[in-house]
């Protein structure tokens, strides 16, 4: 057992705490969306909270932890859903939220410290005529480092794809758990081994991502008599190259009643599409919606809603915020993450929506993968037990629908179509040979024997 008190004394001048309530709070994310993960992770907690202010402090912390053989689990805003920032073996929880400074923009690429909130980074970029290409539905609380380490998909995916697409992640600086710890500056595909690896392959200290020219986006809610009409609209909207767009989510009729702020605007029994478009495309959007039997029921400025503490940007009803909106009123549900085939997309959606309609409340998001448009899905699932969930997933897969399982802990088990190319295992062997970074999250990694470490 490590002497945490002794370790803490070597970190004088760095913010730290052993307060149990704080440690419980900082050792959690939204893993409880999954009843399976909740059973596995409830009660897990770090023994020491540490919050560095700069790279020098990060290196000091890692050096002390390595000497004491204490595991380190990195966290940002704690908005992930897979237990990525839950310490499996105690040790240190390394909170990066004091490292928030934008470094600068060069040729449309921003460099920023990893703890910056994505909303703050986006607003800072907007003041300079730019905006983020991609952000999660948790934009107002998530950090850019956490987004790269744990997700990389969300708003913007309809146009730009996900963080795994070539060009969407330009590079990063990371701190290693070697002897001694050091800073590596990774560029281009050399940075892939830290993309969606839950902080197991290095501590992200700075991120470089490309920006896109800022738009004054409009949130638009469109009601449709049924889900099929809404889905046909969504796909045609997604393929309409003349309409600048940032998002398109589609929700079966069971879901809008859970959306505070929109529930009263959507007629009972109607499906809903939520989109983000540029103001100049509103006429084209209105016409396209009408052709599919839809009518606009609500509209607002996305940026103004973000800045208003009492308003809800429509993206906070989309992606995995949909699950959260339902869980606020009904704790008997969970969710899945799926990708429908590129061909005959709607046929695949209907093949699983209809037979499971009482258990699976369909929610899709239009997104690009490898330059091809399809629907990704985060349906809300009525929870019965793990066996029934496995049956539902097997039925989806039999229809050619990819599953990225959100009910497992390790990168390998949960990635499926979300896996980022690159030798992540080999990279971890070089940067964390003792396996002290977020242990338990990379299934195939085996620590080297001490003292014979990897070079």
Q: What is the mean pLDDT of each run of 10 residues along the chain (455 residues)?
A: 88 97 98 98 97 98 97 97 96 98 97 98 98 97 96 94 95 98 97 95 98 98 98 98 98 98 97 98 98 98 92 97 97 97 97 96 97 96 98 97 95 79 90 97 86 48
Same domain as 184, residue 152: yes
Q: DSSP secondary-structure letter at 85? A: T
The answer to the question of residue 424 being in a domain is no
Per-residue tokens: 178: 């070697």
For residue 22, tell me if it sits in a domain. no
Q: Is residue 88 part of a domain?
A: no
Domain enclosing residue 367, as ranges: 218-410
Residue 254 placed within a domain = yes
Domain end: 165, 195, 213, which one?
213
> Which pLDDT value is given to residue 454?
45
Measured CA distances, 247 to 33, 309, 336, 422, 437 (Å): 23, 22, 20, 28, 35
Residues 253 and 397 in one domain: yes
**Cβ-based burial of 246 (10 A; exposed 0-12, middle 13-18, buried ≥19):** buried
Order of strands across the sheet that contains 380-382: 333-335, 380-382, 360-361
Say if residue 278 is in the same domain as residue 396: yes
Q: Identify the pLDDT of residue 398.
A: 96
166 burial (CB, 10 Å; 0-12 / 13-18 / 19+) is exposed
The pLDDT of residue 2 is 72
Which residue among 390, 410, 430 closes a domain?
410
| Residue 451 located in a structural domain | no
Instruction: Quote the distance between the C-alpha of residue 315 and its chain's center.
Output: 13
Closest CA to 227 of 324, 91, 352, 367: 352
The pLDDT of residue 453 is 53
- Domain total of the chain: 2
- CA 180, CA 185: separation in Å to the nearest integer? 16
Check whether residue 123 and residue 242 sit in a common domain: no
């Amino acid at each position: 057992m490590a002497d945490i008190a002794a370790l803490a004394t070597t970190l004088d001048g760095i913010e730290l705490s052993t307060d149990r309530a704080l440690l419980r709070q900082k050792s959690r994310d939204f893993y409880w969306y999954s009843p399976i993960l909740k059973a596995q992770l409830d009660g897990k907690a770090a023994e020491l909270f540490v919050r560095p202010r700069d790279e020098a402090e990060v290196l000091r912390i890692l050096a002390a932890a390595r000497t004491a053989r204490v595991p380190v689990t990195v966290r940002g805003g704690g908005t992930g859903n897979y237990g990525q920032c839950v310490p499996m073996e105690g040790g240190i929880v390394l909170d990066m939220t004091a490292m928030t400074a934008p470094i600068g923009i060069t040729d449309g690429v921003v460099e920023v410290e990893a703890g910056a909130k994505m909303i703050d980074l986006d607003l800072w970029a907007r003041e300079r005529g730019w905006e983020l290409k991609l952000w999660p539905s948790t934009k107002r609380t998530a950090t850019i480092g956490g987004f790269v380490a744990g997700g990389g998909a969300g708003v913007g995916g309809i146009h730009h794809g996900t963080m795994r697409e070539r060009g969407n992640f330009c590079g990063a600086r990371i701190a290693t758990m070697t002897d001694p710890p050091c800073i590596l500056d990774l560029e281009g595909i050399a940075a892939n081994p830290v993309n969606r690896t839950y902080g197991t392959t290095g501590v992200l200290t700075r991120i470089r991502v490309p920006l896109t020219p800022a738009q004054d986006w409009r949130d638009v809610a469109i009601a449709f008599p049924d889900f099929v009409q809404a889905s046909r609209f969504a796909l045609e909207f997604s393929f309409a190259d003349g309409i600048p767009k940032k998002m398109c989510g589609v929700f079966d009729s069971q879901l809008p009643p859970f959306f505070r702020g929109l529930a009263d605007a959507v007629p009972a029994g109607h499906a809903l599409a939520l989109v983000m478009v540029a103001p100049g495309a509103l006429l084209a959007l209105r016409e396209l919606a009408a052709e599919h039997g839809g009518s606009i029921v609500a509209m607002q400025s996305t940026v103004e809603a973000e800045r208003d503490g009492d308003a809800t940007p429509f993206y906070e009803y989309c992606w995995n915020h949909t699950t959260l909106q339902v869980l606020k009123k009904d704790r008997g549900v969970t969710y899945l993450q799926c990708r429908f085939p590129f061909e005959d997309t709607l046929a695949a959606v209907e093949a699983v929506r209809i037979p499971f309609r009482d258990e699976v409340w369909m929610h899709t998001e239009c997104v690009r993968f490898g330059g091809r448009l399809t629907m990704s899905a985060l349906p809300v699932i009525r929870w019965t037990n793990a066996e029934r969930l496995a049956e539902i997933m097997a039925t989806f897969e039999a229809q050619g629908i990819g599953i990225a399982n959100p009910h497992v802990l390790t990168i390998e088990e949960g990635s499926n179509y979300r896996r980022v190319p690159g030798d992540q295992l080999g990279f971890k062997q070089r940067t964390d040979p003792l396996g002290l970074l977020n242990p338990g999250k990379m299934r195939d990694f085996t620590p080297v024997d001490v003292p014979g470490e990897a070079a």
